[in-house]
């Protein structure tokens, strides 16, 4: 059996099928684009330089039935509008100037953030809370926390972690009648100043960690969403108030 495999044009074959399937009267037949029409389409596509708003409605782009000129004009108008409005809003979207901006936001080794200083009583209830930038060390933030609270009676013992191991801070707090209970650092070279008998109270510091975990249950405090510092401080104080009310 011999089969004659000659080249048959696909365009002519499809055209013949359409002509045979469609009725003879009242039907608009389709015209296929061949190689001769490719240069015309390619020229129109190369002349239209646009890179934005490709999904815009067709009437807006082709109002005068001239798609090439409409796309170019629309892209030029969009670029001019975006160059003039680039501060806070761009019509339908908001543009942020920077990440984690606002007051009381400082840089650390791990990034930007805000420190929360909480004064906790012996039973774990928060007495007061303040916010500061993450840049200054916690040694410089303990005394302002005690001064802003204006307590009737200062505590006799103040428990803190390794971050408060500072001899000048111990001396200043001792002048006020407060004994700082904080473990010494492993690389300390000076003679120890922490009384071991008083250091036994450091085992109760889990209550402070528990109070901090109570504050972390409020999603508004885990991540700072407020740009203004007084709003974030207000939510922090509100969380402390809710913790106190739940215990009574």
Region 144-171 average pLDDT: 86
Which of helix, strand or coil describes residue 117?
strand
3-state secondary structure of 26: coil
Closest by Cα among 64, 74, 19, 67 to 47: 67
**Cα–Cα distance for residue pair 229/131, rounded to 1 Å:** 8
As a whole number of angstroms, the distance between CA 17 and CA 9 comes to 13
pLDDT digits (tens, 9 = 90+) for 110-131: 888 899 999 999 889 998 899 9
Of 110, 169, 109, whose CA–CA distance to 138 is shortest?
169
Report pLDDT for 110.
82
Per-residue pLDDT tens digits for 141-155? 999 888 877 677 788
| pLDDT given for residue 65 in this prediction | 58
pLDDT at 85: 43
Does the pLDDT of residue 83 top 50, yes or no? no
29: its two tokens: 């037949």
Q: How confident is the model at residue 248 (pLDDT cuts 50, 70, 90)?
A: confident
Phi and psi at 132, nearest 5°, equal -145, 165
The DSSP output letter for 162 is: G
Given pLDDT bands bounded at 50, 70 and 90, which one contains residue 109? confident
Split at pLDDT 50, 70, 90, the class of 16 is low
Query: What mean pLDDT, rounded, does the chain reach?
Result: 75
Domain ranges, ordered by start, for the chain: 10-84, 106-247
Per the DSSP assignment, residues forming a β-bridge with 94 are 89
Contact criterion met (CB below 8 Å) for 238 and 129: no
Q: How does pLDDT run across 27-81, given as a tens digit for each residue?
A: 455 555 565 555 555 555 555 444 555 555 555 545 555 656 666 666 666 555 5
Confidence at 181, pLDDT banded by 50, 70, 90: very high
- Is pLDDT larger for residue 189 or for residue 28? 189
| pLDDT value for 7 | 46
What's residue 147's pLDDT? 82
Q: What is the DSSP letter of 1?
A: -
Evaluate if residue 4 carries a pLDDT over 60: no
Please tell me the CATH code under which domain 106-247 is placed: 3.30.420
Give the model's confidence band at 99: pLDDT under 50 very low, under 70 low, under 90 confident, else very high: low
pLDDT digits (tens, 9 = 90+) for 195-246: 888 999 999 999 999 999 999 999 999 988 888 999 999 999 999 999 999 9
């Amino acid at each position: 059996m011999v089969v004659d495999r000659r080249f048959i044009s696909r365009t002519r074959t499809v055209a013949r099928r359409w002509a045979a399937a469609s009725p003879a009267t009242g039907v608009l037949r389709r015209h296929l684009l061949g190689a001769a029409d490719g240069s015309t389409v390619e020229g129109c596509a190369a002349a239209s330089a646009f890179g934005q708003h490709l999904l815009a409605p067709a009437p807006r782009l082709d109002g005068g039935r001239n798609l090439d000129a409409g796309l170019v004009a629309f892209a030029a108008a969009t670029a001019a509008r975006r160059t003039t409005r680039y501060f806070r809003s761009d019509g339908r979207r908001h543009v942020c100037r920077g990440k984690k901006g606002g007051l009381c936001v400082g840089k650390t080794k791990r990034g930007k953030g805000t420190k929360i200083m909480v004064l906790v009583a012996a039973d774990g209830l928060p007495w007061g809370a303040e916010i500061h930038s993450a840049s200054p060390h916690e040694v410089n933030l303990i005394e302002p926390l005690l001064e802003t609270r204006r307590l009737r009676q200062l505590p006799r013992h103040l428990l803190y972690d390794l971050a408060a191991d500072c001899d000048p801070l111990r001396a200043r707090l001792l002048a006020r009648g407060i004994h700082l209970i904080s473990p010494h650092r492993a690389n300390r070279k000076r003679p120890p100043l922490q009384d071991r008998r008083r250091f036994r109270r450091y085992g109760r510091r889990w209550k402070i960690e528990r109070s901090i975990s109570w504050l972390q249950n409020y999603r508004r405090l885990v991540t700072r969403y407020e740009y203004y510092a007084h709003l974030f401080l207000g939510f922090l104080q509100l969380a402390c108030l809710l913790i106190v009310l739940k215990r009574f």
